[in-house]
Each structure stands twice: as C-alpha cells, then as structure tokens.
Amino acid sequence: MHVRLSLPERNDLTLGVEEEFVLADPATGGVSLAAPRVLELLDGEPAVMPEFLRFQIETATAIHTGLDGIRADLLGLRRLVADAAGHAGCLVLASGTPPCGDLPGLPGVTAEPRYRTLAARYPALLAEAGTCACHVHVGIPSPGLGVRVLAGLRPWLAPLLAISANSPLAHDEDSGWASGRYPLWSRWPTAKPPLDWPDATAYAASVDAAVRRGEASDANGVYYYARLSPKYPTVEIRVADVGLTAEDAVLLAGLIRALVVTILAEARAGVAPRPVRTALVAASLTAAARGGYPGHGIDPFTGQVLPQHVLVDRLLEYVRPALQANGDVATINRQLAAVQAGETGAARQRALFTEDGAPAALVAKLASATLTGTTGPGGSGPPSRQRPADVHGG
C-alpha cells in the first residue's frame, strides 16, 4: 500500500564525507609509503588523517547541510592533499584499489598501536589490504531511529555500490570486477550488511558481541556496510568506493541523505521497512560489485536478475520527494546523467588502462582525474581549519 509521506519543505540533516586515497609513485606506478611525510607537510591539518597503510591517506569534510558546502570541501581537500603529496614526491589517486604494482604487506602498516594490533590479528588479510572507500555520514535524531534507518537502507546498498564502483584494476591488470575493492574488503570479519535490528539495544549488543569474539578490537573496527557511527550522532554508510571525482562523492552524498530523510519519514508515519532477506542483500551487493553500472543486478526483494539501471531508477523514484525537499534534484540528475552515459569511475579507469596501460602513464592520468574540478596549485584554497570535533572522522 502506498503511504503519502510528510516531508519538510527543506531538510537540515547534517552531512559529512570521508574519502580515502592511494598514494602512488609517479615513476613506477606502484604505491608510495609517503603518508607520514604528506601528513608532516600538512602540519597537523585535522581534516587529513593517516590510514591503515602508509600508502593511504584519508580526508574528512566539515559538517554541512547542503551539497554545495560538501563539494567545496571535497575539492579543497583533494587539492590540499595533492599539493602536499607533490612536495613529497608522489601522486594522489582516487581509486578503490591501487591499480599498479605489488602491495607491501606488513612493512606498509602505519606505526600506530591500533593498526599494528589489526595487522597482528589478521596477518592473512594484509597481502591485499589498503582499499579506499567513500564514507557518508548523515545526522540522526537518536540511535533508535538510526537503527531503523539501517534496516531501511539494506535493499538500497547495492545500487549505491554499483554507481560508485571505481576499482576495476589491481596489479597492472583488470580484475574483472567493477568494484574490486568490495570482495577484498568483505574478507574482514565484520564487513557485512547491517541486520534488521529491532532497536538500538540489539544493535549495541551485536557490536559488543563482534568485539568479544575478536572480530574487531573495538566498536570503531566493526565494519558494517552501514552502521551507527561510534563517534558521532550519525549513520555512516561505508559501502561505496572512493569516487574518481569529487562530483561522484557529491552524487553519493545527495542520494544517501535523501534515503535517510525518506526512511525517517516512513518511521514517523509508522511504515515498517519492507522485509528483505540478508542473503539476497548480499547477493545484490556481489552483483553490483562485479558488474557495476550498467551491468546486471539482483532485486533484493525478489531475487530477480534485472539490469542495474532498473534498480537505480527505482532508488531515484523512492527518494525523489526528499531530493525535491532539499533542492538537490538538479545536482543529482546532472551527475546521474553522466553515470547513465557510461561515465562511471570503473568505466573511466578501464578506458585509461586501454589507452595506455603503462603504470606511470596510468597513474598520472588517474591523478589528473582525481583533481577534476579543482583549480591550479592551491586550488580553491585549503578548507577552513576545523577543530577535530567539527569534522566527520572515520
């Protein structure tokens, strides 16, 4: 039964976006263990942080209520990190996996106790560690409503992954996956879809149980594809690859915020989430990661194999009232049109690989694509200096 939802004329749910990047050697195309030097050059900038491995670096936007602010921060942070990386002798790539060369394993682990503990606990996962994601935070009124949002997100995670897939290359080859990051990341014990928990207490018990079983060292290491942030009053959607361009991340952020707005409106109207089996959610995610957009996907409600564009169109129809309420329709339509024209991250990476698969040439082109939309050295200027509490960190 269709229920007419009451949506505000404009919603002010907060947004924050985290992006993880690969640092590459411009001469060899392989990874560069230069993150400590890049961070040193940035002199304590709180919006830029280390990651698990020393060839990764993470950025976090400030908190915004509109996509224009998110875009400005994303562009500024990409330019800021790229400029520092240039002085450190490396390139910044927005790619879900390092496209070229071998990975360093244990010698590449960042020298922080949390990361050293993680490496010691999961040595078998180190050989292919170092994938890069885009995490979107959306503010929520309460943990209880946040858990309801997680349940409502389950059937829509696969279309989000399909349109964001940006990791087809690894070890100088095409992996055959649009998101090669997804099967690698999913090897971690807690990297799995959220469940349909009945309340916040059940969610917390699930997290605590994962830590007790040794599947994570703490709540921050529980890697559900969508979760309640352990640090902030947000839901954190972690399923997507880092976008090749900042506009890819803006598209993702706008769609995710619209999903959260819609699910919250359903909750307030007493509309229960439509049941969906976890096995079909997982199957839909695997299909999205392998085929990307416009490949074939799986309808998580029925198990039917459908073109991915049909599933993405259903997502857009579902969230359109929320996009209208936020004034985001034009922005989302413009970037979705690029996706529908075949300009996904995975397709663009494959096209560059076909043009010239030489590692040095490929990473140079990917580094240039990463900075699409920024301006010359200094770009639009560094983002505003924020206190760490004002930044959505991962």
The structure tokens listed for 18 are 């985290």
pLDDT value, residue 1: 36
pLDDT value, residue 116: 92
Give the 3-state secondary structure of residue 291. helix
Q: Is the peptide bond before 294 cis (omega within 30 degrees of 0)?
A: yes
Closest to 98 in 3D by CA, of 372, 367, 373: 367
Residue 210, number of CB atoms within 10 A of its CB: 20
**Residues 159/292, Cβ–Cβ less than 8 Å:** no
Candidate CATH numbers 3.40.50.720, 3.90.950.10, 3.40.50.2020, 3.30.590.20; the one for domain 15-376: 3.30.590.20
Residue 6, number of CB atoms within 10 A of its CB: 9
Sequence ranges of the domains in the chain: 15-376
pLDDT value, residue 374: 84
Please state the φ and ψ torsions of residue 132, each to the nearest 5 degrees.
-125, 130
Burial class (CB in 10 A: 0-12, 13-18, 19+), 182: buried
Residue 196, number of CB atoms within 10 A of its CB: 19
pLDDT value, residue 259: 98
Only one residue has tokens 């969508």, namely 226
Local confidence pLDDT in tens for the 394 residues of the chain:
344 555 654 567 999 999 999 999 999 999 999 999 999 999 999 999 999 999 999 999 999 999 999 999 999 999 999 999 999 999 999 999 999 999 999 999 999 998 999 899 999 999 899 999 999 999 999 999 999 999 999 999 999 999 999 999 999 999 999 999 999 999 999 999 999 999 999 999 999 999 999 999 899 999 999 999 999 999 999 999 999 999 999 999 999 999 999 999 999 999 988 899 999 999 999 999 999 999 999 999 999 999 999 999 999 999 999 999 999 999 999 999 999 999 999 999 999 999 987 999 999 999 999 999 987 654 334 343 333 334 444 4
pLDDT value, residue 11: 60
The structure tokens listed for 144 are 């209880």
Give the 3-state secondary structure of residue 312. helix
Residue 27, number of CB atoms within 10 A of its CB: 12
Distance CA 279, CA 323 (A): 30
Q: Which residues contact 69 (CB under 8 A, 6 or more apart)?
A: 61, 62
**Residues 151/262, Cβ–Cβ less than 8 Å:** no
Burial class (CB in 10 A: 0-12, 13-18, 19+), 213: exposed
**DSSP string for residues in 152-172:** HHGGGHHHHHHHH--B-EETT
From residue 17, how far is each of 64, 147, 212, 241 by CA, in Å? 9, 20, 30, 12
From residue 84, how far is each of 20, 62, 373, 391 by CA, in Å? 15, 20, 18, 20
Only one residue has tokens 């292919």, namely 128
Give the 3-state secondary structure of residue 194. coil
Distance CA 315, CA 133 (A): 21
| Helix, strand counts (H, E) of the chain | 13, 11
**Residues 214/120, Cβ–Cβ less than 8 Å:** no
Rg, C-alpha atoms of the chain: 20
